[in-house]
Copies of this chain bind each other. A is one copy, B any other.
Amino acid sequence: MVSWFRRARERLDAPRLKPRNDQRAMERVDLHELSPKLPAYLAQAAYLQLTFFETLGHVVASAPTTEAKIALARVADRALDKHEALVAEIVRRGDDPAKAMEPFRAGVDEFQRVTRGNDWYENLVTCYVTAGFLDDFFVLLGAGYTGEAATRSVAVFRRPSGSEDLVALIQAGIDANPRLGSRLAMWGRRLVGDTMLVARSALVFGANHDTDEARIEPVFTELIAAHTRRMDALGLTA
């Protein structure tokens, strides 16, 4: 396993979990000492869903066929519904959604900028890979909270995201032009690095950095395993 985040200082010898094959396995990984406070969790996630929606809006507008537009509009609607459900949680807590999201705007906007593809297919892969990874990540992180708001929010990230529609469209493109596949595999590798960085930015590190790194590593191992399965579904190597 490649550690994406290990500082050069020293090698840790933390125990590693092998990638497992089901989502419930992921939730046994313990992240909650690094979890941000619930309002920050809700706000960053809500703003991320908003940017997924924006990117999906762009792929709807630039879709080459009416059929693709209709399918992608459904996917966009799902991101928007997730965003609105998280905004509703923020409002329910008595917080102002815009103020709550503001601190995350610059970082997430930059993430959106660096994950913008060069063409329609790369943007489809961006929607599929980044939203898939971050939904998984927020499910994992959400396991660290107690209370109904957290339970409802985790349920939001578990909602279907329409990834099967994205897979079908990307797959059709690769079938028609096999050289597209290797380009999209490269793009997927690029995306996972940036996506891990934005996920990592949600975590709150304590005084003992090495302990925290050791705690994060198995979590990201699980998330990368899920990413690998996601690329497999496209017939691409992660």
Residues of A within 8 A of B (CB): 47, 50, 53-54, 56-58, 60-61, 65-67, 69-70, 73-74, 76-77, 80-81, 83-84, 87, 97-98, 101-102, 105
Q: Contacts of A58 on B, CB cut-off 8 Å?
A: 57-58, 61
Show 26 A/B contacts (Cβ-Cβ < 8 Å), sorted by A.
A50-B69, A50-B73, A53-B57, A53-B60, A53-B73, A53-B76, A54-B61, A56-B57, A57-B57, A57-B58, A57-B61, A58-B58, A65-B98, A66-B98, A66-B102, A70-B87, A70-B98, A70-B101, A73-B80, A73-B83, A73-B84, A74-B84, A76-B80, A77-B77, A77-B80, A77-B84
Q: Contacts of A77 on B, CB cut-off 8 Å?
A: 77, 80-81, 84
Which of A57, A80, A83, A84 has the most CB atoms of chain B within a 10 A radius of its CB?
A: A57
